[in-house]
Chains A and B, each alone.
Chain A
Amino acid sequence: VLGFALAVACVVSLTIGAVPIPPTRVLAILVESVGVETPVSFESHEVVTLTLVRAPRVLLGALVGAALGIAGATLQGLFRNPLADPGLIGVSSGAALAAITVTMVGAGISGALGIPGTVLLSLAAFGGGLGAVLLVYRIATFEGRTSIATMLLAGIAINAVAAAATGVFVFASDDQELRDFIFWTLGGLGGVTWSSILTGGPLLLLGLVAALFLARPLNALLLGQAEALHLGVDVDRVQRAVVWIAAITVGAAVALAGIVGFIGLITPHLVRMVAGPDHRIVLPGAALLGAALLVVADLASRTVVAPAELPVGVVTALLGGPFFLWLVVRDRRRGALAGAA
Chain B
Amino acid sequence: MREAGEALARETEAQLARVRAAAQEVSRRPRTVFVWGRGGRTMQVSGRGTAAEAMMDLIHADNAVRDFEGYRPLTPEALISAEPEVLVIDEALLDRLGGVPGLSRDPALASTPAVRNGRVVPVHVLSFIGFGPRTGEVALDALRRVHGLETDGPESRP
Question: A residues within 8 Å of B by Cβ?
Answer: 17-19, 45, 48-49, 52-54, 99, 106-107, 110-111, 116-118, 121, 176, 179-184, 186, 188-193, 195, 258, 302, 305-309, 311
**Interchain CB contact under 8 A, B75 and A302:** yes
Contact A305-B68, Cβ < 8 Å, known A45-B111, A180-B38, A183-B73: yes
Contact A52-B65, Cβ < 8 Å, known A116-B102, A179-B39, A190-B75: no
Contacts of A48 in B (CB 8 A): 80, 107-108, 111
**Interchain CB contact under 8 A, B68 and A308:** yes
Question: Is B5 close to A, CB under 8 A?
Answer: no
Q: Which residue of A lies closest to B107 (CB)?
A: A52
Question: Is B74 close to A, CB under 8 A?
Answer: yes
Question: Is B148 close to A, CB under 8 A?
Answer: no
Q: Which residue of A lies closest to B92 (CB)?
A: A176
Contacts of A191 in B (CB 8 A): 38, 40-42, 76, 106, 108
In the assembled complex, the Cα of A336 lies from the Cα of B95 at a distance in Å of 61
In the assembled complex, the Cα of A117 lies from the Cα of B103 at a distance in Å of 11
- The 7 A-B residue pairs whose C-beta atoms are closest, nearest first, are A183-B39, A307-B78, A184-B40, A191-B41, A52-B107, A190-B42, A116-B98
In the assembled complex, the Cα of A181 lies from the Cα of B41 at a distance in Å of 11
**Interchain CB contact under 8 A, B111 and A18:** no
**Interchain CB contact under 8 A, B96 and A309:** no
Question: Is B51 close to A, CB under 8 A?
Answer: no
Tally of A-B Cβ pairs under 8 angstroms: 135
Contacts of A106 in B (CB 8 A): 96
Contacts of A307 in B (CB 8 A): 65, 67-68, 74-75, 77-78, 81-82
**Interchain CB contact under 8 A, B38 and A308:** no
Question: Is B44 close to A, CB under 8 A?
Answer: yes
Provide a sorted-by-A list of 8 A–B residue pairs whose CB atoms are within 8 angstroms.
A18-B75, A19-B78, A52-B107, A106-B96, A116-B98, A121-B40, A308-B75, A311-B73
Given contacts A118-B105, A308-B72, 6 further A-B contacts (CB under 8 A): A19-B78, A45-B111, A53-B80, A99-B40, A188-B73, A190-B42
Of B41, B65, B81, B111, which one neighbours A192 at CB under 8 angstroms?
B41
What is the minimal beta-carbon distance from A182 to any residue of chain B, in angstroms? Answer: 7
In the assembled complex, the Cα of A189 lies from the Cα of B39 at a distance in Å of 11
Of B36, B47, B92, which one neighbours A107 at CB under 8 angstroms?
B92
**Interchain CB contact under 8 A, A193 and B74:** no
Interface members, chain B 42-98 (any A CB < 8 Å): 42, 44, 47, 65, 67-68, 72-78, 80-83, 90, 92-93, 95-98
Contact A107-B96, Cβ < 8 Å, known A52-B108, A52-B111, A305-B68: yes
